[in-house]
Chains A and B, each alone.
Chain A
Amino acid sequence: MKALQDRSIRQKITLVIMLISGLVLMLACVSLFAYQAWTIKKRFVSELSVTAEMIASNLAVATMFKDEEKASEILSGLSTMPQIISATVDLADGTRLAHFGNEGDGAGIKTAMQDSALHVDGNRVLLATPVKREGRTYGTLHLHADFHAAYAGLMKLYGGMLGVVLAGSLILTYFLSGRFQHMVTAPILQLADTARQIAEGKDYSVRAKKAGSDEVGTLTDAFNQMLAQIHAQDTALQNAQQKLHEQLAALEREVEERKAAEEALHQSQEKLLETSRLAGKAEVATSVLHNVGNVLNSVNVSGNILSEKLRGSKVTILAKAANLINEHRANFAEFVASDPRGQRVPDLVSKISSALAEEQKELLAEVETITSHIGHIKQIVAMQQSYSRVGGVIEQLTVEDLVGDAIRMNAASMARHNVELRREYEKVPKLQLDRHKVLQILVNLFSNAKHAVDDSGREDKRVTVKIQNNGGHFVKISVEDNGVGIAQENLARIFAHGFTTKKTGHGFGLHSGALAAKEVGGSLYVHSDGPGAGAIFTLELPIVPAAVIAAAN
């Protein structure tokens, strides 16, 4: 069957026609043959019975008069019929009157003929005919015929004829199918040819020729329609492809541009970060310098006081007294005893000594003050030095200490502006953080709070710092002031780069603070009920550091 599938339509049609014609012809021939065989056999039998009737009639008188010679003579007439093997005439009493043919046959015939007058066994026919005359039966004629030879001969003839007819018909069918199948196959083959052309040439503008309006015609129409559609689609596809190419190129360009932009953005971000870092550092430095400046102011005041004090020192009176003593060195005792001026000298020295003692005490106090201020400066500088180390080092931080450091950096200016600082600390665990970054944020927050309360002009300036444990994961450090507050519209952009409400501000502080908070895995947010209502800045810091969280995930 596989081999058949790969054959051409022409061959298939020929094969199908041949097969069908062959089968039909074969069927017709076989039925004809069978009918012929059946008819022949029937004719043989009927001929045989006619012969038997005739012979029986001829035999009647011979049987009546038991004339063996006459009976034999009549039977011998059967020799002209080669299919009759034997014939026997028996009298009514069973005695054999005459016999013809194969001698051994008689008994067999009789046994076979016991129950019927006709016995057909294949090609062998046994026939019993009563020998009658005037309604009376005188005997029986048994005929034994074998049609095999005649039958075979006839069958051979018919078979041969049928074979010739079959062969002739098939040959005729072959030639006719060759002629007529062209009508069917030509359009199909043409269609197939067109299809092959298109498949090879990829030229969809080719169209198949329509031969008629039968199914193949419909197929051709459909094929052409399909071709038109394919053609259209192909064109559209090509256009789309071209467009796609263009778009792809544009996209690539855009990607390039975006990359460049991203690079630029990255760079500016880097720069910004650097700037903010620097700004942070600057802020810390500013705060340090500010503090140092403040202390130096005090030192200066102390210095002035010292200078004043030293300028107004009683040492001049002591020198006067000394001159007086030197003038009267020869008669000092007399001078002291008799001169009225000399009489005042001991009194004077006593006064000077007590005055100098007083002065020394004062100066010492002032020097102590200066020393204490210088110690403060040393402390500030030392702290600055401790923060000015390279950032990014993660340390164990005690939040209270950190907040304390930040407060200390602003303490001088807060004290100067009479800002009350309140502390509300909860017990919180130690944090693993970049100390510098957190301090930078806090210093900025305190500085802002101080400015806010300062700008409000109120008497009860107050900044409250709270340390809270927020749900076990975060520590909240909030710096609350009762200062100018923040307008609603500014809340949203307060962390934006370059945004500031301060005359001297540069808009870096909160922005870099927010960035730094993000960098350490925390966040910075603000709350204010509006202008004049103060503000709360809250820094949330993770108890478990961001790096550990990231690693855990």
Chain B
Amino acid sequence: MVSPATSDSGCHEVARNRRRWSGVVLLILVALLPLSPLQAESEYAVKAAYLYNFVTLIKWPATAHATSTSPVVIGVVGRDPFDGGLENVLSGQKVGSRPLEVRHLRASDIAGLSACHLVFVATTERLPVVAAAVRGAPVAVVGEADNFARGGGMIGFVMKNNKVKLEINRDATQQARLTIPSDLLGIATIVN
């Protein structure tokens, strides 16, 4: 559990408690997952797992990593739709020899965004801002807004028949010097 920085406000206290309870519920749900059908799985649990899949599949240019053991950083921009579930899914996981790190960022934090390998843009944020912030940097921009990939994002989650599908903008990924494996492209819808 990654806690935010210390806070004094009671309102924050309540919100944190609520989030904690949601996390517990999510955990129970995740625990029940093997017995439940795919459709019943929480959308964001799936999406969190997919984010992990992305960081394992996508090849970043060598410049994206400081050292061979520097962490792979996943940034969540805007209101966290995973409600802490991302940290649950990713904590302790590694990609090769690299640990995973989840950061919560603002869209205005250009340096922070550029330091990420993958940013998940919540629907609360405006894509063009984030896209502009990471333009030129090897950062995979993932989002769930409608026409996310088409609208300047790179990988968009699309709900289709209650299932999470992918849309990939190859131009954008190529501009970011990201290598997407062909089989990943094979299961995604390619958009420009």
- Residue ranges of A at the interface with B (Cβ–Cβ < 8 Å): 58, 60-62, 64-68, 70, 93-95, 133-136
Contact = CB atoms under 8 A, between A and B. Distances in A.
Interface in B172-192: 181, 183-184, 186-187
A60 B181 CA distance: 12
Task: Please list the 9 inter-chain residue pairs (A to B) with the smallest Cβ-Cβ separation, ordered nearest first.
Answer: A93-B34, A61-B183, A64-B53, A134-B56, A67-B187, A70-B187, A61-B184, A94-B34, A65-B187
A64 B33 contact: no
Contacts of A67: 187
Contacts of B33: 93
Contacts, number: 42
Nearest to B37: A95
Contact of B38 (A60, A62, A95, A135): A95
A66 B46 contact: yes
Contacts of B53: 61, 64-65
Interface in B5-64: 33-34, 37-38, 46, 50, 53, 56-57
Given A61-B183, A61-B186, A62-B187, A134 B38 contact: no
B186 A65 contact: no
A386 to B, nearest CB: 161
Given A61-B183, A134-B95, 18 more contacts: A58-B183, A60-B183, A61-B53, A61-B181, A61-B184, A64-B50, A64-B53, A65-B50, A65-B166, A65-B187, A66-B46, A67-B187, A70-B186, A70-B187, A94-B34, A133-B56, A134-B56, A134-B96
Contacts of A134: 56-57, 95-96
17 contacts: A60-B183, A61-B57, A61-B184, A61-B187, A65-B53, A65-B164, A65-B166, A65-B184, A65-B187, A68-B163, A93-B33, A93-B34, A95-B38, A133-B57, A134-B95, A134-B96, A136-B56
Contacts of B57: 61, 64, 133-134
B120 to A, nearest CB: 16
A445 B108 CA distance: 191
Contacts of A68: 163
Contacts of A66: 38, 46, 163-164
Contacts of B166: 65
Contacts of A70: 186-187
Contacts of A95: 34, 37-38
A58 B182 CA distance: 11
Contacts of A65: 50, 53, 164, 166, 184, 187
B16 to A, nearest CB: 30
Contacts of A64: 50, 53, 57
B66 to A, nearest CB: 21
Nearest to B93: A136
A99 to B, nearest CB: 14
Nearest to B181: A61
A95 B38 CA distance: 8
Nearest to A97: B38
B58 to A, nearest CB: 11
Contacts of A58: 183
A66 B46 CA distance: 9
Contacts of A135: 96
Interface string B133-163: 0000000000000000000000000000001
A288 B66 CA distance: 185
Contacts of B184: 61, 65
Nearest to A135: B96
B92 to A, nearest CB: 13
A68 B164 CA distance: 11
B46 to A, nearest CB: 7
Contacts of B181: 61
A135 B98 CA distance: 13
A66 B47 CA distance: 11
A66 B166 CA distance: 11
A331 B164 CA distance: 244
A94 B33 CA distance: 10
A93 B181 CA distance: 25
| B57, B181, B183 interface centre (most CB from chain A within 10 Å) | B183
Contacts of B164: 65-66
A68 B57 CA distance: 19
A67 B164 CA distance: 9
B35 to A, nearest CB: 9
Interface string B53-93: 10011000000000000000000000000000000000000
Contacts of B187: 61-62, 65, 67, 70
A134 B38 CA distance: 24
A64 B186 CA distance: 13
Count chain B CB atoms within 10 A of each CB in A58, A60, A61, A135 and give the residue with the most: A61
B151 to A, nearest CB: 22
B43 to A, nearest CB: 12
Contacts of B163: 66, 68
A93 B187 CA distance: 21
A131 to B, nearest CB: 12
A60 B186 CA distance: 12
Contacts of B95: 134
Which residue, B56, B164, B166, B187, has most C-beta atoms of chain A within 10 A?
B187
A93 B53 CA distance: 16
A386 B175 CA distance: 186
